[in-house]
Structures are given as C-alpha cells and as structure tokens.
Amino acid sequence: MYNGSDFTSKVFTDWTSAHDIYIDYIDPGSPYQNAYIEQFNRSYRNEILDCYLFNNLNEVSNLTESWIKVYNTQRPHDSLKYLTPAEYRQVA
C-alpha cells in the first residue's frame, strides 16, 4: 500500500502489529506499483469515507459490504474496457 499518513500513523501500525498484519508499502512517489488498489482506495474514500459520518464500526461494515457488492458486480471499470466485472467474465 502507499505510505500516506493514513497508513503510516502510529495508531494504524500499532493496530496492524497487534493483529499480525504485515504492511508492504510501495516506494514513495510510485503509485503505479500498486495501481489497482490505489484506484480502489480512491473510489472507496471518495464514495464512502468522505461522504458519511459513522457512529460505529457496524455502520461502516454494512455500508462497505453493500458498496463492495456494487463495485464488484454492477459498476463498469475502465481496466475492464468499461464493462462490469460480471460482463467481463462472460466475454473473457
């Protein structure tokens, strides 16, 4: 993942360590090293995290689950020639 402040903060890195999660950062200034997840992160941040005020983690989880279903099945992706993932699977 990229090494922006949201993924390098002490709170985040302490949490990942406590849960035995290894973070593999891309080189600074090299988002092309992880272009797929960078696109996903930007979409998720713009469409979910920046649009809502959450009262608890359950709200985040429920909204995220719904968003991911749409993102992975109904939403056209430029990397798939503007087809939805379901459409792309049918022609691939």
pLDDT digits (tens, 9 = 90+) for 36-67: 777 888 899 999 999 999 999 999 999 999 99
- Coil, strand, or helix at residue 40? helix
* Mean pLDDT of the chain, nearest integer: 87
- Over pLDDT 90: what percentage of the chain? 42
pTM over 0.85: no
- Give the count of beta carbons closer than 10 Å to the beta carbon of residue 64: 14
Task: Say how far apart CA 67 and CA 61 lie, in whole Å.
Answer: 10
Query: Residue 26: is its pLDDT beyond 90?
Result: no
Give domain limits for the chain: 5-91
Query: Residue 31: is its pLDDT beyond 70?
Result: no
Show the CA angle centred on residue 67, arms to residues 80 and 16, nearest 5°: 95
